[in-house]
C-alpha cells in the first residue's frame, strides 16, 4: 500500500479521484488550498485508489495521509 501525503498544511479544496480509480505516477489527485494558493497533490506511484482519508473542506496538516493506493 502506498500513501499520498500532504506536502504542507492547508484546506482540502478538491479531490480529483474516487475509490477504485486507477492513478498513474504524476497524476494530480487532489488540490490543497494554502495561503490563498492552490497546490496540486500528485501521486508518486501508480496504483488504484483504495481509500480516501479526507473530505473536501477538511483542514490538513503537513504529512497527513490523504489517499491510500493499492
CATH number of the structural domain spanning residue 48: 2.40.50.100
How many domains is the chain partitioned into structurally? 1
Whether 40 and 26 have beta carbons less than 8 Å apart is answered as no
Q: Please say whether the beta carbons of 67 and 51 come within 8 A.
A: yes
Percentage of the chain modeled with pLDDT above 90? 93
User: What's the predicted TM-score (pTM) here?
Assistant: 0.89
Domain region containing 57 = 2-69
Taking only the tens place, the pLDDT of each residue in 3-31 is: 999 989 999 999 999 999 999 999 999 99
Amino acid at each position: 500500500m502506498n500513501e499520498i501525503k500532504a506536502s504542507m498544511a492547508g484546506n482540502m479544496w478538491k479531490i480529483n479521484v474516487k475509490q477504485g480509480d486507477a492513478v498513474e505516477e504524476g497524476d494530480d489527485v487532489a488540490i490543497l488550498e494554502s495561503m490563498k494558493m492552490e497546490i496540486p497533490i500528485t501521486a508518486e506511484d501508480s496504483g488504484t485508489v483504495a481509500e480516501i482519508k479526507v473530505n473536501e473542506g477538511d483542514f490538513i496538516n503537513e504529512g497527513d495521509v490523504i489517499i491510500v493506493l493499492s
